[in-house]
Amino acid sequence: MKTVVRAGLVAMLATALAAPAQAATVKQVTSTCHSGEFGATFTLRYETSGGYHHPIGSYTTSGPYIGDTGTQSLRISYRDGLGTHTVYTRVGPATNGTESLPAGLAIPATARGTASTTFDNGTASCVATVPIT
């Protein structure tokens, strides 16, 4: 009896391990921009699962700044046969570092997605854009 139970458990475990759930694919895309001596880098991380791209975070660096006048805006959108759809926007003070994005952002994998960040140091600005494919 123990052998039958043990064999059944081994069979269930082997089946569960052989058919793992489809894991999300995480991608990272980076773009840079320049305006004179001012420059910036924008990196977007997103995962693809269930027919959608889901932006999960970004990383930015830029400089040099003049005082505290730096601003940065982020826009994530996609184009499909019906037009352009914005899924997220944020405007605020320029920061260097990592930003988590809200859960639930979704871009259809069949659409053309982009994420653009505009950096402004008070006297110069530039835009870094990455594709979401």
The domains of the chain are located at 23-132
**SS3 of residue 67 by DSSP:** coil
What are the tens digits of pLDDT across the range 80-130?
A: 989 999 999 999 988 889 999 999 999 999 999 999 999 988 788 999 999
pLDDT band at 63 (very low <50, low <70, confident <90, very high): confident
Looking at the DSSP bridge assignments, the partners of residue 14 are none
CATH number of the 23-132 domain:
2.60.40
What is the reported pTM? 0.79
Strand boundaries in the chain, DSSP class E? 25-35, 38-49, 52-63, 71-80, 83-93, 97-100, 107-108, 112-120, 125-132
